[in-house]
Homo-oligomer: A and B are copies of this chain.
Amino acid sequence: MARYKKRERQELLLEKVSTDPFLTDEKLSEVFEVSIQTIRLDRLELNIPELRERIKHVAREETEKIRSLSLQEVIGEIIDIELNDHALSLFIVEDGHVFQKNKITRGHYLFAQANSLCVAVIDEPLALTKSADIEFTRASKLGDKVISKAVVEKMDGHRAIITVTSRVEQRLVFKGRFEMYYTDETDEGEKYG
């Protein structure tokens, strides 16, 4: 392992640090077979913060991601809404949403966007999906911006019919017809899921 020249080492350093932020300067100096000072100069030039700052950063970032990925009320970001009438949301397909092999979006994320949009558009304390007919008309892929539109067709008593269409650059990727159950009693829930 002949030592790298500056340029090369710095590129590898960036990569190393971003894949494993838990490396001290000392460890890095061993990996690259240079002195600690060299590593520090490199970090200075590349604006890589010190170990503790890096860790703090991932800790904060990840806690936020957790909230936005798993605890969020809605998959996708709502960009327009008229309660009990219609709603629009944007969902950007990221790495975790696709099949690794071919980068095609997993169907259930498109469904999740549509489903949570239906829940959101209904202006009642409790709204649950009762049934749905759905169709995936085209494959969407990593990086796509999926715009989903929900239109409330009918509301009577405790039942709403909503049609959803999702498009990437005007082209339909998903459509569905959702039957929702809703009520103003907050703690029902022994009926549907």
At the interface with chain B, which of A29-37, A39-47, A68-76? A68-76
Check if A136 sits within 8 Å of B55, measured CB to CB. Answer: no
* Chain A positions 137-162 with a Cβ under 8 Å from a chain B Cβ: 137-141
Which residues from B are CB-within-8-Å of A188?
A: 102
Total identical chains: 2
Check if B71 sits within 8 Å of A141, measured CB to CB. Answer: no
Checking B59, B70, B75, B104 against A128 with a beta-carbon cut-off of 8 angstroms, the contacting residue is B104
User: For residue A93, which residue of chain B has the nearest CB?
Assistant: B193
Tell me, yes or no, whether A49 is within 8 Å of chain B by CB. Answer: no
Q: Given A58-B62, A62-B59, A102-B187 in contact, is the A138-B108 Cβ separation under 8 Å? A: no
Can you name 20 A-B residue pairings with CB atoms under 8 Å? A22-B59, A58-B63, A62-B65, A62-B66, A65-B66, A69-B69, A70-B96, A104-B189, A106-B112, A106-B119, A107-B119, A107-B193, A111-B115, A130-B135, A130-B136, A133-B134, A138-B190, A139-B192, A139-B193, A141-B189
**For the complex of A and B, 7 pairs with smallest distance between CB atoms:** A62-B62, A70-B96, A108-B112, A107-B129, A139-B193, A59-B59, A131-B135
